[in-house]
Amino acid sequence: MRHTSFILKHSFTAGAVLALLAGCISVPADSKRAAPIDLAAKAQHAPGIALPQDAWPAEQWWLTYGDPQLNTLVQQALHDNPGLAVVQARVASAQAIVTAERADEGAQVGLSTGLNRQRYSSNGFFPPPIGGNYFNDANVQLRASWDVDWWGKHRSLVASALGEENARKAEAAQAAQAIAASVAQSYFRLQMLWARQDNVNALASVQRELVAGRKARIAHGLASADMLQSAELDLGTMEEQSARFATQAVREREVLRALIGGDTQALANLARVKPAPGANALPRELGMELLARRPDLQAARWRVEAQLGRVAASEAAFRPDINLVGALGLDAVSLGKLLRWPSRTPLLGATLDLPLFDSGRLKAQLGVARGSREELVAEYNEAVLAAVREVAQEGATLQGLDQEAQTHRQAVESSRKLLDSAEARMKRGLLERAGVLQAKMTLLRQQDTDLQLLDARLQTQVALVKALGGGYRAPAPAAATTAIASNNTK
C-alpha cells in the first residue's frame, strides 16, 4: 500500500505540473470561420409558384398513379438494382469504422504470459553465480489501461465516425429515391413512345385512305399527279416517324430493364397502357422541412457533423493525453515458485503525453481540419440553394404545363367537334370522304400534341417529387442546420 500511495502521489504531482504546462499551450484561434447564413429564409420558392394541392410527397409516391405495372417495377428495382448494393456496402463499412473508434474508448484489459530460458552474461549486471548460468523466467500478468479522455478526443472521433455513418445512410436513401424516380420516368417515357407510335400509325392509316382516294381521282382525271405525290410524301414521313418511335421505345425498354436489374425476358409481358398523371402538389412553405426531407442535404449535413468531430479531435490533440495503467502479475525464475506470494508484481501508474514542440504538425493538422469544415459548410449551403432552385424550376414548369394543357384541351375538343360535323355533313351528302379524313387527321395531330404534353407533365411530376425529397424524412426531428449554425456562431 505504501508503494501504491507513493506512485499515486507522485503521478498526480506530475499531472499537476504537466497541467500547468498545458495551460501555456494554446489552441490556435479559429479565425477562418464563415459567417452564419439563414438557410431557413433562403429555402423558399417564389410565392407566384403554386399548384392545386399543398402537400409533400408520400414515402411510396409512385402508388398514387394507380399503375400495378409501375408498382412492380419500382419494387423490383429497389430490390435488385446493383447500385443499391454498393451504397449498402458503404453503410456497413461506415458502421465498422464506428465500432473501431468506440473500441479505442474506455478501459482495455488483457492477459499476457511468457516462459523463457536464458543464460545471463558473466560480465553483465548480475555477478556469479547468476552470471554465467541458465535460468528460467516464467510470468503471468493481467494488465488494464484506461484513457481518461479529459479533452474529449476519442468522443470527438466517435462523433465523427457516427456522422459519416449517418451520411452514408442518407446517401443510401438518396440512391433509392433516385432509382425509383428513374424507373418511373423511364416507364412513363416508354408508355408515351408506344402511345405516340399508335397515334402516328392511326394517322398513317388515314393518310393511306387519302392516297387511295387521290389515285382514284387521278384515274378519273379529277386530280393532278402533284397532289398524289404530296400525299405520298406525307405518308412516308408518318411511316418514318413510326419507325423512329419504335426504335426509341426499344432503347427505352433496355434502359428500364437495366434499372430493374432484369434478364432478357423481364419486360416481355409489359402491357401498353396510357398513364394518368397524378395530382399536382407543391408545399406552399419549404423552409426547414425541405432541409429535412432531402436525403442529399441530410448527407451533406452529416458530413459537416463528421468534420466538426475531426476539428474537435485536432483541437484536443494540443492537450495532455492521460492514460492510467494497472497490472497484476506473477514473475519467477522457475515454474515451481511462480504461484507463490513473493512472486507477485503489482503495477499502478499513469502516463501523460504533452506536446511541447512538433515543428507545427498539430497546427497544420488543425488548419487542414478547419479548412475542410469550411469547405463542407459552403458545399452544404450551395446544395440547399440548388435544391430550392430545383423545386422552383420543376414547380414553375409543372404550373405552366397545367395551363398549357387546359388551353390545349379546348383545341382537342374543337377538333373533335369538327370531325363530328364533317361526318354528319358526309351522311347528308354535303361533304366528300376526303373532307372527313382531313378532319380526322387534324384530331389525331391534336391528340399527338396532347400526348407530348402528358409526357412532359409526367416527367416533370416525377422530377418535382425527387426535388422535394421523394418522401424521405430525416430520422432526427432537429433542424438540419442546428449544428452548422452553432458552429458558425461559436
284-305: pLDDT as tens digits: 888 888 888 899 999 999 999 8
Tell whether the model's pLDDT for residue 24 goes beyond 70. Answer: no
DSSP-assigned states of every residue in 285-341: --HHHHHHH-HHHHHHHHHHHHHHHHHHHHHHTTS-EEEEEEEEEEEESSGGGTTSG
Q: What is the pLDDT of residue 256?
A: 94
Cα–Cα distance for residue pair 187/169, rounded to 1 Å: 27
**Would the pLDDT of 138 be above 80?**
no
Task: Give the DSSP letter of residue 274.
Answer: -
Greatest mean pLDDT among 80-84, 205-209, 425-429 lies in: 205-209
Residue 476 scores a pLDDT above 70: no
Residue 113's pLDDT is what?
Answer: 83
Domain boundaries, the chain: 1-28+106-148+319-354, 32-104+170-296+378-489
Determine contact, residues 277/457, Cβ cutoff 8 Å: yes
Percent of the chain exceeding pLDDT 90 equals: 26
Q: Do the beta carbons of residue 468 and residue 462 sit within 8 Å?
A: no
Q: Domain 1-28+106-148+319-354's class?
A: mainly beta
Give the CB-side neighbour count of residue 161, counting CA atoms within 13 A.
19
**What phi, psi does 48 have (nearest 5°)?**
-75, -10
Which of the given ranges, 25-39, 82-96, 412-426, 469-483, has the highest pLDDT on average? 412-426
Amino acid 181: pLDDT: 94
Tally: H helices and E strands in the chain: 11, 4
Highest-pLDDT range among 112-116, 175-179, 332-336: 175-179
Q: Evaluate whether 421 touches 443 at the Cβ level (below 8 Å).
A: no
Whole-angstrom Cα distance, residue 482 to residue 73? 38
Report which listed range, 94-98, 250-254, 323-327, 363-367, is most confident. Answer: 250-254
Mean pLDDT of the residues in the chain: 81
pLDDT, tens digit, 9 for 90 and up, residues 221-268: 656 666 677 778 888 999 999 999 999 999 999 999 999 988 888 898
- What's the pLDDT score for residue 480? 39
Return the C-alpha cell found at 299.
Answer: 448527407
Cell 455513418, located at residue: 165
CB 476 within 8 A of CB 205: no
Amino acid identity of residue 302, one-letter, is: W
The predicted model gives 321-350 an average pLDDT of 77
At 364-384, the pLDDT tens digits run 888 888 888 889 999 999 999
Between 1.10.760.10, 1.10.1060.10, 1.20.1600.10, 1.10.357.10, what CATH number should domain 32-104+170-296+378-489 receive?
A: 1.20.1600.10
